[in-house]
Amino acid sequence: MSTFMSVFAHLVEHLADLLQPLFHASATAAAIVLFTALVRLLVHPLSRAAARGQRARAALQPQIAELKKKHGKDREQFQKALMELHAEEKVSPLSGCLPSLFQLPAFFLLYHLFSSSSIGGGANTLLGHKLFGAPLGGRWADALGDGGIFGPAGLVYLGLFAVVTAVACFNYVRTKRTTAVAAPVADESRSEGEQATAAALASVGKIMPFMSFFTLFTVAVVPLAAALYVVTSAAWSAVERAVLYRDMPGAVPAAAALA
């Protein structure tokens, strides 16, 4: 693990060296943003596949309704038929989760890199790099203790919080609209189990629009370098989903944030 972290640290340093003529003292922060963009580019084919899967699942709704009508209250037979339908149409119910899962290693690498005081037996010099006065290895609590909310480091966090809030509001409006379109309609002919499932889905639908706001908490508690990854990835996701799901007013992306 130590050797792998050393290689990753050298990669970040190399990117920072390339960007130094443009960003000067904030070159390492810019390297993290660039690294995040590269990760998102690598994951983008999975995001496109997830969007195609969502369209395919939406197109299957009439057939799923027929299966439910055919099998009535026999949930076991319905689930079996549903799995066969997904297999026949080559649709994976889990495809929407893959983009988020494949990003987790990159996030944890940054988190670990900027949380460790030493790498490969030597001091971690990356911790001393800053973004407009805020150490990349520091956290919001450190910024509050060193100059307060409106100190140099505090202002960096206020900027990040502003970006996250704007992205979260955008996601809130979009998710609120899509969950309203996809909300289940009450049906007295359903079994108690189906009614309970519908009620649970309705509760999730009420919570989903607020999920993006939890990114604010993540930004506040992780090292600034990891927070930059989260903010960049969240902004990328908002734009990406708006484009990929623009013609699906009733579709709800399976993963709502890093965001």
Domain boundaries, the chain: 2-244
The sign of the dihedral angle between the CA atoms of 124, 128, 129, 134 is positive
What pLDDT is stored for residue 135 in this prediction? Answer: 92
Q: Express each pLDDT in 121-170 by its tens digit.
A: 788 888 888 998 899 999 999 888 888 888 888 999 999 999 999 988 88
The residue written with tokens 């030597």 in the block is: 122
pLDDT at residue 187 greater than cutoff 90: no
Three-state DSSP at 135 gives strand
pLDDT of 64 higher than 50: yes
- How would DSSP label each residue in 148-199? -TTSHHHHHHHHHHHHHHHHHHHHHHHHHHHHHHHPPPP-TTS-HHHHHHHH
Which has more confidence, 257 or 2? Answer: 2
Average pLDDT, the chain: 76
Helix (H) or strand (E) holding 254: none
Q: CA–CA separation, 170 vs 173, rounded Å?
A: 5
- The pLDDT assigned to 253 comes to 41
CB count, 10 Å around CB of 237? 25
Question: What percentage of the chain has pLDDT greater than the value 90?
Answer: 22
C-alpha to C-alpha distances, 119 to 101, 112, 113, 139, 259, nearest whole angstrom: 26, 10, 8, 20, 27
* Residue 223 reports pLDDT greater than 90: yes
Which amino acid is present at 46?
L
The burial class, CB within 10 Å (0-12 / 13-18 / 19+), for 45 is exposed
Looking at residue 193, its amino acid is G
CB atoms within 10 A of CB 141: 10
pLDDT digits (tens, 9 = 90+) for 14-34: 999 999 999 988 999 999 999
Q: 98-113 and 27-59 are packed helices; what angle lies between their axes, rounded to 10 degrees?
A: 160
Among 8-12, 143-147, 244-248, the minimum mean pLDDT is found in 244-248
pLDDT score of 204: 46
- Per-residue pLDDT at 193: 47
